[in-house]
Structure 1
Amino acid sequence: MAVTDEAIEKIKEMIVSGSLRPGQRLPREADLAAQLGLSRNSLREAVKALSLIRVLDVRQGDGTYVTSLEPSLLLDALSFVVDVHHDATVLEFFEVRRFLEPRAAALAATRIGEDEVAALRGHLSLVSADSTYEELVANDLEFHRRIAVASGNSVLCSLLESLAGPTMRGRIWRGLTQEGAWERTHSEHHAILDAIADGQPDVARAWAEVHVAGVEQWLRKAL
């Protein structure tokens, strides 16, 4: 194992064991290096790497702290990886979305509140056949984001948000080129929401899978 990798592993072990907690300041560099049996240089490289993926926060003149370790923060690195991929891999992102989106809908069906359901119905009513292309895209993204939030699982929510970029391009392409695509999308949104509102996780999951798979299937043919 490379020296820097070893240093990263040792810091990770401290966080996992609870020796270092979210928001806690790390000991002085010299003290921590001695405690972990590392050189100060390898420790410095490990801290730099962990700060890039938002595990540590280096504050100039103040010290180095463990971040909040919130999923949305830690998954920023994943968002970057997703964003730099091009259309050649977009189908793989749709496959992942097809695994995750139905699960989010099923969880939402068991956890969503009446106010959230009402807000989602109001949200869907904001678009119609006369809506602009920008309004339709924004409504679609926000609908799925709210369902992910309603799932009550912050990690799942963050993962789905990180997939929004590349899969959105495929959804837009379909909407612009396939006749009746937006009407079909809107109808499926209502079906997903009805199942969630009725507390039917299996039905919500099925509709969500049909919804995502429809775009994926069209895209496979188009590519």
Structure 2
Amino acid sequence: MSLTDKAIAQIRQLIASGALPPGSKLPPEQELASQLGLSRNLAREAVKALAVARVLEVRRGDGTYVTSLQASLLLEGLGGAVELLQGDPGAVLDLMEVRRLLEPAATALAVARLSSEGLAEVKRHLDAMREASGDVERLNAHDAAFHRAIVSVTGNESLIALLEGISGRTLRARIWRGLVDTRAAGRTLAEHEGIYAALAARDAALAHAAALLHVANTEQWLREHLRSAETPGGDTSAAGPVGESRS
């Protein structure tokens, strides 16, 4: 562990112990360094790193504060990390596997917490998907919003942030799918209608099954396409790296 890592750990320990609760202001840099037995440079580097991680917020002319430490804020960086994995086929498949584990469970959980307004929001995006059937990018934008609306119903901020980081960043892969497979839009729409029907019926088991079918179909398609692309002479003309559209 580097000296900077140790400095970061010391500040995190102050936060975890409650000595620096959410919203509190850190001591001035020199005082903080002295308190932790660090050089000012180490204290400054540690603060910068924790600010990037959204643990701390540096307010110019005012000082440095501990953020709200809400899951949606702390996990915000996940999407950026996932973005860096988009060129690695194995990593993309790993992400799809994680999505397959989490999203059906979140969809089933949403059933018990779904209000009429929440269901109407899901239907709004489903209707928009029907209308956008000829526009792949618009279709996929509402595809992502459809799932986001469902997961938001759970009220579980950690789950929402995790799935947004994973599913939101696989949007380009779904666009790519639509570009190279002309049947994908119709299948995707039918799968979403199945999920909505299960939600409207307030059937958690059916909602789980419908969401699992949808994610598993996408994952299976991606696996098969990647195998085809690895085969000499395989057709990769529709896309560049995994998840990157050339449109």
The correspondence of residues 1-223 of structure 1 with structure 2, limited to 5 A, is: 1-85=1-85, 86-88=87-89, 89-128=91-130, 131-223=134-226
Taking structure 1 as the reference length, the TM-score comes to 0.91
Q: Counterpart of 1:65 in 2: which secondary structure?
A: strand
How far is the alpha carbon of 1:218 from its aligned partner?
Answer: 0.8
CA deviation digits over 1:133-165, x for unaligned, max 9?
Answer: 232112211101111111211111111111235
CA deviation digits over 1:2-44, x for unaligned, max 9?
Answer: 3222221121112112211222110122222232233322212
Alignment gaps of 5+ in structure 2: 227-247
- Contact 1:107/1:152 (<8 A) preserved: no
- Contact 1:83/1:165 (<8 A) preserved: no
- 1:115 and 1:2 map into 2 onto residues whose CA distance is 51
How far is the alpha carbon of 1:108 from its aligned partner?
Answer: 0.6
Q: Counterpart of 2:129 in 1: which secondary structure?
A: coil
- 1:122 and 1:54 map into 2 onto residues whose CA distance is 33
Taking structure 2 as the reference length, the TM-score comes to 0.82
- 2:60 and 2:123 map into 1 onto residues whose CA distance is 47
How far is the alpha carbon of 1:87 from its aligned partner?
Answer: 4.6
- 1:37 and 1:197 map into 2 onto residues whose CA distance is 59
Mark the CA change 1:17 to 1:96 in structure 2 (over 3 Å): closer, same or farther.
same
State the superposition RMSD in angstroms.
1.9
How many residues are aligned here? 223
- 1:87 and 1:37 map into 2 onto residues whose CA distance is 42
CA deviation digits over 1:88-142, x for unaligned, max 9?
Answer: 2321221111112112101111111111112322331223375422321122111
- Contact 1:112/1:150 (<8 A) preserved: yes
Mark the CA change 1:168 to 1:36 in structure 2 (over 3 Å): closer, same or farther.
same
Mark the CA change 1:40 to 1:132 in structure 2 (over 3 Å): closer, same or farther.
same
